[in-house]
């Protein structure tokens, strides 16, 4: 017999980092207002740490998919591997040239381009795809909030999220 419905358990698991961060911040507040202000200084440190963890946890929860899509993602020693039913591939993070989100496919796919090989297409809901957040965060100059906004927008076409060397000059505007 389970205590939680599977849907509620999935929601709690998706937001697990945020829940832990709120718990850490509440412990810090309890120490701050506790008896005699004995633990006020470490309490303030816990509140700050809890706030920072909460921000990162919200970003991770927004990125995390259901994990019930086709294929599986594995990240090992700086290499992203996708094992799908029809396609697959491996891309090294240091060789990655362009990261795109292709929302024209259902479900949307991450497109990883590296020179000298075919692009690797990874569904956003593939098993283990939540580990891509940490891998993408290591890309120099990646704007995480922009990536999360594009995931939510679902424009219906491919959008370049990150490029190692931009194809257009920095001063050239798109609009």
Q: What interhelical angle do 40-63 and 144-153 show, nearest 10?
A: 40
Angle at 133 between CA 53 and CA 154, to 5 degrees: 110
Question: Looking at residue 173, what is its pLDDT?
Answer: 58
pLDDT band at 51 (very low <50, low <70, confident <90, very high): very high
Bridge partner residues of 79 (DSSP): 76, 92
Region of 73 (left: φ > 0; alpha: ψ -120 to 50; beta: rest) is beta
Question: Looking at residue 112, what is its pLDDT?
Answer: 94
Question: Looking at residue 92, what is its pLDDT?
Answer: 93
Take residue 142 and report the two structure tokens written for it: 């990646």
Cα 63 to Cα 43: distance, rounded to the nearest angstrom: 30
Name which residue leads in pLDDT, 169 or 21.
Answer: 21
Take residue 80 and report the two structure tokens written for it: 């992203």
Range in 17-21, 31-35, 95-99 with the lowest mean pLDDT: 31-35
pLDDT band at 8 (very low <50, low <70, confident <90, very high): confident
Give me the percent of the chain exceeding a pLDDT of 90: 47
């Amino acid at each position: 017999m389970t205590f939680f419905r599977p849907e509620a358990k999935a929601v709690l698991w998706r937001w697990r980092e945020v829940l832990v961060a709120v718990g850490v911040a509440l412990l810090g507040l309890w120490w701050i207002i506790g008896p005699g202000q004995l633990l006020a200084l470490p309490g303030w440190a816990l509140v700050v740490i809890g706030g920072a963890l909460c921000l990162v946890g919200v970003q991770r929860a927004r990125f995390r998919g259901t994990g019930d899509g086709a294929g599986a993602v594995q990240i090992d020693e700086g290499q992203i591997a996708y094992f799908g039913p029809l396609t697959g591939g491996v891309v090294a993070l240091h060789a990655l040239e362009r990261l795109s989100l292709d929302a024209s496919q259902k479900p949307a796919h991450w497109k990883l381009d590296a020179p000298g090989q075919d692009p690797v297409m990874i569904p956003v809901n593939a098993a283990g795809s939540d580990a891509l957040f940490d891998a993408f965060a290591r890309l120099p100059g990646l704007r995480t909030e922009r990536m999360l906004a594009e995931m939510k927008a679902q424009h219906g076409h491919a959008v370049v999220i990150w490029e190692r060397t931009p194809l257009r000059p920095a001063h050239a505007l798109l609009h």
